[in-house]
Structure formats: C-alpha cells, structure tokens
Amino acid sequence: MWVLKWITKASLSETLTRVIGLKATGQISQSQFQQVDTLHYEVENKLLRLIGSVEKRQWNGDQSYF
C-alpha cells in the first residue's frame, strides 16, 4: 500500500511541476495556472483522505478494499 501512496502523490506533484513549467515559459496564462492549482489542491486533499481511509482499514485488518 505504501508504494501506491507514494506513486500517486508523486504523480500528482509531477503534474503540478509541469504546469509550473508551462506558466514559467508563458505557455499558459495566470488564470489557467490558478485553475489547475486549485484542482491540484482539491485532488491532493481527496487523495490524502482516501489514503488515510485505506490505511485505517488496513490497520484494522479490513481487507474489503481489495
């Protein structure tokens, strides 16, 4: 499970890194950057809650998430 956690978080971070690069090179506007940044924040928070929920189930011995 921990591998999946780090892969998903790293992939999400890589997406934001790419968008920062697009903004720095003028390929997207500030408004477009802000939209992606807002979505990134929302997805990251949902992902962290999902990971926490799965880890809690795992610690409690509940394997029903598989």
pLDDT of amino acid 23? 98
pLDDT of amino acid 58? 77
Q: What is the pLDDT along the chain (66 residues), one digit of tens a residue?
A: 667 777 888 999 999 999 999 999 999 999 999 999 999 999 999 999 988 888 888 788 776 655
Domain that holds residue 9: 1-64
User: Taken in order 53, 54, 58, 63, is the CA torsion positive or negative?
Assistant: positive
SS (H, E, C) 14-58: HHHHHHHHHHHCCCCCHHHHHHHHHHHHHHHHHHHHHHHHHHHHH
- Number of domains comprising the chain: 1
Q: Decide: helix, strand or coil at residue 4.
A: helix
pLDDT of amino acid 30? 98
Q: How many CB atoms lie within 10 A of CB 49?
A: 10
pLDDT of amino acid 1? 61
